[in-house]
Structure 1
């Protein structure tokens, strides 16, 4: 990914700030920005904690296997049909303070 240049590549990219983070209600409960704003620790599987980008997949909290096409491959009129509904609660395994096993 090109996180540094995301705003130039995605025109409607939302800039998250300490001021607006609490008002953005669609952020999932696992969102690192949301957790930090709420004074909570990041989960064990977050790459900034684990040092391994694969832990999000091990915890079952990534989009891997849930998204069938990129935004660029889907026509605008088909976008609504592709909406993925994320659970509002994390699994027990994902909520653990440390990795088990």
Structure 2
């Protein structure tokens, strides 16, 4: 198969992607918008089912994407540069998969052609999350499902360098 017939995520490095290509990698799972806790002693990450107040719990998309940094100052802007050190994105995240040399799974909207495929496959947080406005203590909402590796995702273990937490 000629390179021109391959999808852009197989032929273009993350740092060389256009803004449109980069943004289209987001599968709309909503997991990156979940609050996480880091154990100060072990550096382990613990996911919660508590979503940012801007996350639409049905679509699993930010309800104020263009102005999110003004409304949530500690919202992290994913860039190719910070992906090298980031350790809190879920293993199903397209940015992480591509960073680690994996392909996009069949349920990814770029492969399926449908934004609903991620929800239909049960990969997204739809129906599993609550808003931070209703949650109370994050410690009361620890869950494992965001860190699970779904079918169709072959993961490589990466060595992690010590880093400062962006949140």
Asked if TM exceeds 0.5, the reply is: yes
Distance 1:60 1:73, change over 3 A: same
Shift of 1:70: 0.6
Tell me the equivalent position of 1:79: 138
In the superposition, relative to structure 1, how do residues 84 and 2 fare at CA in structure 2: closer, same or farther (>3 Å)? same
Equivalent pair of 1:66/1:84 in contact (CA under 8 Å): no
Q: Which of 1 and 2 has greater Rg?
A: 2
Structure 1, residues 48-100: CA drift from partner, whole Å, max 9, x if none? 33231211122111112222x2112233xx12212322343213xxx07xxxx
Moved over 3 A (4+): none
Which gives a bigger RCO, structure 1 or 2 (Cα 8 Å, sep 6+)? 2
Question: Which residue does the alignment assign to 1:22?
Answer: 84
Match of 1:8 in 2: 70
Q: Any unmatched runs of 5+ in structure 2? A: 1-62, 154-167
**Which has a greater percent of helix?**
1
| Structure 2 contact 98–104 (Cα < 8 Å) conserved | yes
CA RMSD of aligned residues (A): 2.0
The unaligned stretches of length 5 or more in structure 1 are 97-101
- 1:15-69 CA-to-partner distances (Å, cap 9, x unmatched) read 22212213111211111111222232222212233231211122111112222x2
SS at match of 2:89: coil
* Corresponding residue pairs, total: 90
Name the SS for the 2:84 alignment partner: helix
